Structure 1
Amino acid sequence: MKKIFLNLFGLLIGLSFLTGCTKSKEIGSVENPLKFYLVPAQDLMGLETTGKALKKYLEAELGISVVVELPPNYIAVVEAFGSKRADVAILNTFGYILAKEKYDVVPRLKLVNRGRDEYFGQIIAHVDGPKTIQEINGKTFAFVDP
């Protein structure tokens, strides 16, 4: 699984170069390393370990300089695109929608997990609440904040 994860990100980085770069220094150079943002997680230590492994893998496979950033929240990842601090990021659905609306980001790849590329979510209601999709019409929703 870890090897698949790392291969996927290698491909993501390779494809991201097709979009070009607005900076004067070549992206991936020591002066302008590829800036890869990971989304925050509850397991910060695990994320730091993954980030270090990802950096090492990408630098070895692509022959470029990489910086992996671990921002404090999802909004910081989205805003990093607007301020040109991020070149590539892994985003959740809501983060992508915000980044697309604000900064016109373009998805290049989607995650494949256990051979599947679907995304699943849940709609949770009180026991006496809606039981079908049709019963949701007109109801108030609360969404998680990235």
Structure 2
Amino acid sequence: MFRRRKSFLALTGLVLSCFVMAACGSNAPAADKTAGQAGQQAGGAAVQEEFLIGVIPAQGSNQMKIGADKLAEVLGEKLGRKVRAEVYPDYNGVVEAMGAGKAHMAYLGPLTYVEAHERYGVKAVMTQLINGKPFYYSYLIAPADSPYQSFDDVVKQSDSIRFAFGDISSTSGSLIPGIALKKAGVFKTQQEHKFKSVTYTGDHTATALAIQNKQQDIGAIDSAIFNNLVKQGKVDGTKIKTVWQSEELFQYPWAVIKTVSDADVKKIQEAMLAIQDPDVLKAFGGASSFIEAKNEDYAAIRQAAIEDGRLKVKQ
């Protein structure tokens, strides 16, 4: 009887030991698995997505790509992450990329900026100085030997003029001169106007070349980009004259989407304020340097866009 009781206790102890070992064994891998998952999560948090800079094709040349790529390198070092720049084929494409969260930062025209701000809440953080000033103008240009000397000539002789705008979303190449021509009663749309013809070239370089080569009679263009094209010898300034100049327009903004943190915005501003690389500066209108910008700087453009029916304000 004693021996059977002893055997029973021994068997019970063996079963309990196996149970404890099994429990410990099952818990150990679970702990390891949990630790592994935590490590993966920590590692995943350390890997940030690519930061994309979208650039409008204002000058339509490789120069913008070179400057944008160099800027991306500078910002990548400052932000501590991979930064890439992409020049988009049209202005609206950059706005839509920001709206979809694909482009985190963008170089925009003032009109495309106010549109992007209204639709997606992007905010201006930087702009550029041209000859020390944050302003530029819309020019109407003509071949140097053209009979047209003034805005009044353009209006009075509109039926003989082949008119060229830039991109339809351009501030200086479309919005501002378009408003002036509408007030003068010679233009409403590409289909409804009093000109011999109306064309949209797509960018300022194309407009300048079209006027130089006498393919168009009058062209609307960004003053800073035009002067920079002449300075670099890409167009012959002796073959082109200015027949009209708008009021001052605040320079093109660099804007970020809402998910870019204040800390990263500060790093971007610090990095751009320090840039002296001529390849970066000349790529953006022949800038002399960069300065900080804010949404309020574009209030006049916003109002012009509303009056022209370009911007639908949320109620």
TM-score range, shorter chain: 0.5 to 0.7
1:120 Cα deviation (Å)?
Answer: 1.2
1:123 Cα deviation (Å)?
Answer: 5.7
Determine the structure 2 residue equivalent to 1:82.
99
Aligned AA (2:105): V
Higher mean displacement: 56-65 or 87-96: 56-65
Structure 1 pair 128–122 and aligned structure 2 pair: CA distance change class (3 A): closer
> Which of 48, 68, 71 is the aligned partner of 2:88?
71
> Which of 118, 127, 143 is the aligned partner of 2:153?
127
> Which of 93, 97, 102 is the aligned partner of 2:110?
93
Higher-helix-fraction structure? 2
Determine the structure 2 residue equivalent to 1:37.
54
Aligned AA (2:96): E
* Alpha-carbon displacement from aligned partner over 1:40-74 (angstroms, at most 9, x marks no partner): 2321x222222221122222233222121222111
Q: Which structure has the bigger radius of gyration?
A: 2
Determine the structure 1 residue equivalent to 2:120.
103
Aligned residues: 116
**Would you say the 8 A contact 1:30–1:65 is kept in 2?**
no
SS at match of 1:86: coil
Distance 2:123 2:116 in 1: 9
Q: Please, what TM-score do these two structures have when normalized by structure 1?
A: 0.62
SS at match of 2:53: strand
Determine the structure 1 residue equivalent to 2:131.
114
Distance 2:181 2:120 in 1: 35
Matched, 1:49 2:66: yes
Distance 1:88 1:49 in 2: 17
Note the aligned Cα RMSD (angstroms). Answer: 3.2
Distance 1:69 1:128 in 2: 37
Distance 2:67 2:123 in 1: 24
* Alpha-carbon displacement from aligned partner over 1:110-131 (angstroms, at most 9, x marks no partner): 222221011311367461627x
- List alignment gaps of at least 5 residues for structure 1: 1-24
Structure 1 pair 135–91 and aligned structure 2 pair: CA distance change class (3 A): closer
**Would you say the 8 A contact 1:37–1:70 is kept in 2?**
yes
Distance 2:85 2:69 in 1: 7
